[in-house]
Structures are given as structure tokens and as C-alpha cells.
Structure 1
Amino acid sequence: MNMFSEAAFKIFEESIEKYHILDDVYQPFENPYPSDSLNHLLYRKNWIDTVQWHYEDIIRDPQIDPVAALDLKRKIDASNQDRTDTVEYIDSYFLNKYESVEPKSSATINSESPAWAIDRLSILALKIYHMQEEVDREGASESHKAKCAEKLAVLLEQKKDLSSAIDTLLQDIENGEKYMKVYKQMKMYNDDELNPVLYQGKN
């Protein structure tokens, strides 16, 4: 049976490969999937993660200009908000998909929603891609490659476990064994009514 996690991971890989053709955080973004589809959200989710992965690399440059670093920090903040919003859109998709399912009286809630588990799978796809790069990196020592190969094996095992957990969760929701209950993240630092640094500055 073609499981959801397998299809999602292929979309994440597609996004990562597309990004690395130019390997530029400022490149234009084009989503190949219809705007009303789940695949569109999955592709967008991973693209956000991929760009932010490279933002985080750039900002750790010890020689970075402080003005450029501040601008990049603002971009990372905006990316984090975009990531959260996209996760919530994905959860909305599943809420709509399973709205007609009547949970069993014994149904329980999961510790995280499907979309937040999918978020972890997207990040894991990036870890696997970049760890594979280190295993294959020309000029790296054999010791470095061996250590990275060990880490890659752990990441691949984690992928197997996380994928199984996601597929099981979705199946349980569909069968009424689990039920969804989504809490908005309510991030406070971006809100000028909740962040004291922002609202005190308005007075």
C-alpha cells in the first residue's frame, strides 16, 4: 500500500533537489502543484524549511556584517511564522478530510497533530540530504566520512520510525481510534500587542 509518509517524503526530496540547483536563498519560488492541493502545501512547507536551513548556515558566518546579520534575523523570524502558518494549513486539510469521522468512545488524542509530525519529517529530509553530502564530500577525511555515515544510518532509521508513526496516526484518525484537536501556536514575539518590547515602544 502506498503510504502517505512515502509520498510526502518524495515531495520533500523534490523540493530539496530543486532548491539546490541554484543553491541560493534569494532564488524565486515556484510551486509545481495545484494551489488547492495538499501536495502544494507539502512542497511549500519543505521549501520554507530548506531556505531557512541555509539562512541558519549563513548567519553563523563569524565574518558576517552586523547589518546583514540583523536583516537575516528578520528573514528567519518571518520564515518561522510562515512555517507555522503552513503547518496549520496542513492540519486544516486533515481536519476537513476527517470531519465526518465519528471518534469511538475509547478514542484518544495524540501528543502532536499530524501536521507537526509532518513538519519533523520535512526537517528530517533536509538532515538526510545534507548528511549524505558530508558522506560524499570530496576532500573530507575518511574519519569524517565514517562518522557522518554512522549519523546518516541513524537518520534513516529515524525516518523509518517517524514515517510509520505518521501513517499509523492518520489511519487511527480515519478509523476513529484517535481524534484531532488543533491548538494554534499563538506566537507572542511577532505580535506588537503581546511582545512588551514592541508594545512599550508604541507608548
Structure 2
Amino acid sequence: MFSSLAFKIFEESINKYHVEDNVYQEFVNLYPKDQVEHLLYRKNWIDTVQWHYEDIIRDPSINADDALDLKRKIDASNQDRTDLVEYIDSYFLKKYQSVKVKDDATINTESPAWAIDRLSILALKIYHMQEEANRTDASAEHVKKCSEKLNVLLEQKKDLSTAIDQLLLDIESGNKYMKVYKQMKMYNDDELNPVLRGQKG
């Protein structure tokens, strides 16, 4: 199933990142560019680095210049994340382009890649909640609460994985069809963001 493949790759990315646990470490993709695994690995790496950007920027003692630099890195990361989702959806559009869509086919509330995006974030939540549940320097109450939350996340993983695989099966069989909208983010565009537009020239 595709969800199992994706989650396995997300775990590989997360584990590789945490060898150094450094947002400035070099990124090396483990998969060839012509494989969807390449996109999945890159997608999760972006999410993993951004997860840690978000941790760092919440440091109460961070200075203003560092915080501004991080905010801009987070903005760029969000754009990269959106781009990767669209690349993954392009993979599915090409894969299912010859499917005969049934007359009564319906559209899903989100595209396959945006559901996979949620699975990538969920993999990060599971990794870090597992860390908290395994802490030996935390109180028994903290460990208990985190273990309970981990169980909920694992149930969510099962449900989301099932939903993703069912969606792909429905698209493959013509019961659902893909319709992808570009995100058209406005805040990074100097023609659409009035603050950036005002600084042109």
C-alpha cells in the first residue's frame, strides 16, 4: 500500500535528520530523482527541518535578528513544502491519467498529496511523542500522558493510512477523480503582497 511506503520513507528521513539533529546540516536524498520516493523523502525532510525551526523560534531568549532570520526560513520552507505537495500530486495525475472516470465519480475534499502531507507531519508527531514517552528524566505523570497521546497518534496513523489507500484505490478504479488547485500563496509574491509590492522600485 502506498501509505506504508510513504510512512517508511518518512521514518527514514526523520531518523537520518536526528543523527545530527541540526537544522543547518547538509541534505542528501537517498532516492533517485525519477522515483516518487525521492519526492516523499524530500517532502518529509522539509517538514522535519521546519519542525525544529518552530522549536527554535519559540526560545524566549532568542534575539530579534535571529528570530527574523528564522521567520524568513520558515516562510521559505512553507513554500518548498507546498511545491513538493504539488509535485507529488503531479505524479498521481500522471499515474492515473488513463483511468476512465465513471459518470457518478465524485471529488475528494483534498488531493492525495495533501493527505500524504498530513501523514508526514503525523510521522513527526509520533517520533517526538515517542521520545517524550521514553524520557527517564520526566515525571511518571508526564510519561503516562505522553504514552496516552502516542496511542491516539498511532490510531490516527492507522485511520489516515487507510483513508489514503482507499482514496488512491477509488481514483484508480474511477470512483473518484483528481482535481488539483495550485495553492497560489500570496505572501511571497511581490505582485500580490501589498507590503512587498510597495517596496518595488
TM interval, short-chain normalised: over 0.9
CA distance in 1 between partners of 2:34 and 2:58 (Å): 37
* Equivalent AA in structure 2 for residue 87 of structure 1: V
Q: 2:40 aligns with which of 31, 42, 47?
A: 42
Q: Does 1:98 align with 2:90?
A: no
User: In 2, Cα distance between the equivalents of 1:135 and 1:32?
Assistant: 29
What SS does the corresponding residue of 2:153 show, helix, strand or coil? helix
The CA distance in 2 between the partners of 1:83 and 1:21, in whole Å, is 22
Paired position in structure 2 for 1:64:
62
Q: Which amino acid aligns with 1:148?
A: C
RMSD: 0.6
Alpha-carbon distance between aligned partners in 2 of 1:119 and 1:165, rounded to the nearest angstrom:
13
The percent identity for this pair of structures is 78
Q: Aligned partners of 1:197, 1:138: CA distance in 2, in Å?
A: 48
Structure-2 residue corresponding to 1:141? 139
2:64 and 2:33 map into 1 onto residues whose CA distance is: 38
Q: How does 1:42-191 map to 2 (within 5 A)?
A: 42-191=40-189
CA-to-aligned-CA distance 1:8-40 (integer Å, 9 cap, x gap): 100000000000000000000000100111000
Give 5+ residue unaligned stretches, structure 2. none
Number of aligned residue pairs: 201
Matches of 1:202 and 1:30 in 2, distance apart? 36
Q: CA deviation at 1:138?
A: 2.0
Q: Secondary structure at the match of 2:197?
A: helix
Q: 1:202 offset after TM fit, Å?
A: 2.1
Query: How far off is 1:201 after superposition?
Result: 2.1
Q: Which runs of 4+ in 1 moved over 4 A?
A: none
Normalised by the length of structure 2, the TM-score is 0.99
